[in-house]
Structure 1
């Protein structure tokens, strides 16, 4: 097998290697990474992820990832732990399906958080509310979620009964890549199977204690769908660190951003200052306290992540220049020349 021409797409990423499908649609091939698990992307080095297009060669006798091609979009979350590293969940995605269950009641704050990640990625977000067959008023719940998902399509579906899936299936046009994100037990894998028309992903039984499905997906994987679309399923995300810019937050919270722009002072803290449009909207009931608190929380997290990232980049730059200086000093001394 030769990889001399064209690119291959990552369908699954594991430690030290990735499973790729060449663009001529041959069988998946396992390609190894460098020892550090990274590959070149636009002058830097990154961990290849599901959805990436990569260049592979076999110069060393086995398929080896040499380069990641530029990403048209990237769904990014803050990595777990104390580092400021970011984790790319999926690359080159066109549509982000934000999946939330209707039973138990949907968590609006979580929907807003996932929408912020989706808007930041550069892909189009769509909210899919699962388990519609288990609630008496799915239409009313859709309206509640739509109020928190401004300018985003919201669909209530039941993968078990095939109810409401038509508008979601309409997204599955040839060449489109979708990614499914949401909490454990939201029915993501069941939704993937319904869209694929087969048991592409494992599913768990529904727990009677709280109505949630059991967590089954343990890795991200690209699944081909009928008609030429592909879909990436992801493990349930518990703590979702925000990696967002101002535009992503302003899009998710367009109503709050509009009020902020109307405040008398540009640096208004919305804490009782005169002419604060946000405070006035809260007092009049035009803006709910829940949505305001959600906006404040995500804005603080995004600002904190930005500070951490700036600190990391500064440290890396200092390390780079320290290394350059050391190499320069070694060159000035020459071989065998003693230190002054």
Structure 2
């Protein structure tokens, strides 16, 4: 509980600095609520997303992330609170906003009998764009080789990339991506990261949900961690990690140091054996490493400092899912 309060304090200072700087906002939420029967899906969330910001929304399944995103997109009406997207209310369905937004949802719809190129040409036509817009969009997400393949014959990961291409084809100012890398392999994920970095460099605002915490740490300017419909932490990944009470892990190959020897070293608070390593959790990494070095040297010794995933697990008490 103490840790959560520390993060809340960090959140307030971060939000205040945004207001003081006078940065133009892409999304402003004030006391937004949404209930489904007995379930409070969104419970009084207030936050501001700056223009040009890469903003992550993280949380366990059922935390309210998708409902919150759909409220921002104008796909769902909030029960209470105010929402402003690019200076306008998204609900009732705001037609003026549609060309300025790009949406990739968890369950995207496709024209399955069309080829990937034809599918994107159809999407482009909805925005008044020529069919030739499909080519650059396919290239952007690495699907040029599948351009003439029917959508129904694409793999799950390829369809995911096609959905992202459809969200970007009209060059929107504000892009909502709901778990865009869920069905992608490691290389495809990293390729998409580069696409997203290029979009941000162009000045686009990206609102992003993911269960890949390494992804959020690598890409996001700030993240909001949502649990039970409420934001329990909001700041930059760097600040959240810095405020965490997570020990450093020192990993020594099995056979070089016994668990009894490890447990007696300065700063060590716990010792386990994992994956061929004796793992020393320490609150004073420098002193522990110096002691390990004196005993056995530091060859093959590895250290692992806190990550955003550690912060997430500390705050939510839940396991991430990919």
Give the TM-score range, shorter chain. under 0.3
TM-score by length of 1: 0.26
TM-score by length of 2: 0.27
Greater relative contact order (CA < 8 Å, ≥ 6 in sequence): 2
More strand by share: 2
